[in-house]
């Protein structure tokens, strides 16, 4: 596997005032960091850990090679806004993506919406409550789920997408299938969220490139049917996910998808144990080194139940909020959630704290 260096921003400070040259702004957002942890991974194992103050980080990265220098530039470069049709979603602060599953068998809200009107009404409510994007899905990808025919998936999502987009909502379609992507984009969706990172359908990358829309590339291991059958990695999961997403970004660019339209997602719960998930969440800021906006989808995930007496999905709001705020504290630009009003309120308080810290005294 050879040797590679990974840069993780750390030593976050409340504000940059009076610290010129000693702190750096993370991805153009509301966070500033004062140090960079450099992990040297050799043959799948951490060979060394070093900590550099920001003042020395650029030079240190330069000594470590081109990949480290690229990561340093990515950590400190602002992220361009996402253009979803006529809507523009700024990424200089955390934004909420609301989840609408038009499925009978999703792990949390399967069967909740019995008709397109009900699902669309839920999406309208999410938008009114502050969701920047509403993500509509018609196929469950919970552990153990089996794929469904694309025609059935289109039949589920299309009327919901049409209603939401027709009312001016920024809509994303959650699908692995090119035919569903094309149908939903034609009906007014303006973003694709693919849990397979454009690997499940050989036509999907071309469909996204042709549409010129933003796309979410999510890390996964295996398929929904098998992904939780004893997942394992040949190196620490954080670095394995980094390398895999880096390769998928390169593949998307090679297919004609502009890098500024690519969003990455570490795939919490997709081929990962609870310990894997926790390690990813603790090291999430490292993924900014890939230079793409970061989405976190941890809402109501099983890990919350595992850490709280096996609480069922409908009783995981407090844990979901804790993970959403963890994501915000590590610079995640998009938070994909079921509970939009509660998450928006939590982020408004979080933003109030940041604004107070950033107001010169």
What are the residue numbers of the active site?
301, 336
323: left (phi over 0), alpha (psi -120 to 50) or beta: alpha
Q: Are 218 and 135 in contact (CB under 8 A)?
A: no
Q: Alpha-carbon distance 58 to 47, whole Å?
A: 21
Q: Are 113 and 100 in contact (CB under 8 A)?
A: yes
Q: Are 162 and 134 in contact (CB under 8 A)?
A: no
Structure tokens at 162: 């049409």
Radius of gyration of the chain (CA): 20
Q: Alpha-carbon distance 279 to 104, whole Å?
A: 32
Q: Alpha-carbon distance 108 to 305, whole Å?
A: 12
Q: Alpha-carbon distance 192 to 306, whole Å?
A: 30
Q: Alpha-carbon distance 286 to 132, whole Å?
A: 25
Q: Alpha-carbon distance 175 to 194, whole Å?
A: 5
Q: Alpha-carbon distance 10 to 172, whole Å?
A: 32
């Amino acid at each position: 596997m050879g040797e590679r260096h990974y840069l993780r921003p750390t030593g976050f400070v409340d504000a940059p005032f009076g610290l010129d040259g000693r702190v750096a702004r993370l991805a153009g957002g509301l966070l500033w960091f004062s140090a960079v942890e450099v992990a040297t991974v050799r043959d799948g194992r951490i060979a060394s850990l070093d900590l550099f103050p920001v003042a020395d980080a650029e030079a240190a990265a330069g000594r470590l090679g081109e990949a480290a220098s690229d990561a340093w530039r990515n950590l400190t470069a602002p992220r361009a806004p996402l253009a979803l049709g006529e809507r523009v979603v700024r990424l200089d602060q955390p934004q909420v993506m609301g989840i609408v599953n038009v499925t009978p068998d999703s792990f949390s809200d399967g069967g909740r919406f019995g008709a397109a009107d009900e699902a669309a009404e839920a999406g309208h409510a999410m938008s009114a409550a502050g969701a920047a994007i509403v993500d509509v899905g018609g196929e469950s990808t919970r552990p153990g789920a089996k794929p469904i025919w694309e025609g059935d998936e289109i039949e589920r999502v299309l009327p919901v997408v049409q209603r939401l987009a027709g009312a001016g909502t920024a809509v994303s379609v959650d699908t692995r299938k090119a035919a569903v992507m094309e149908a939903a984009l034609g009906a007014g969706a303006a973003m694709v969220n693919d849990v397979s990172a454009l690997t499940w359908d050989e036509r999907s990358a071309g469909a996204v490139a042709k549409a010129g829309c933003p796309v979410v590339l999510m890390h996964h291991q295996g398929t929904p049917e098998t992904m939780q059958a004893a997942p394992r990695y040949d190196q620490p999961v954080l670095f394995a996910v980094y390398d895999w997403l880096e390769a998928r970004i390169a593949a998307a660019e090679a297919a004609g998808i502009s890098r500024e339209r690519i969003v990455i997602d570490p795939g919490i719960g997709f081929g990962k144990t609870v310990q894997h998930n926790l390690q990813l969440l603790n090291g999430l800021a490292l993924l900014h080194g890939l230079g793409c906006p970061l989405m976190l989808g941890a809402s109501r995930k099983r890990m919350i139940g595992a850490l709280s007496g096996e609480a069922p999905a409908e009783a995981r709001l407090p844990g979901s909020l804790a993970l959403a705020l963890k994501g915000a504290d590590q610079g995640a630009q998009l938070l994909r959630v079921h509970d939009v009003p509660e998450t928006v309120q939590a982020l408004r308080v979080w933003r109030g704290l940041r604004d107070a810290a950033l107001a010169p005294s």
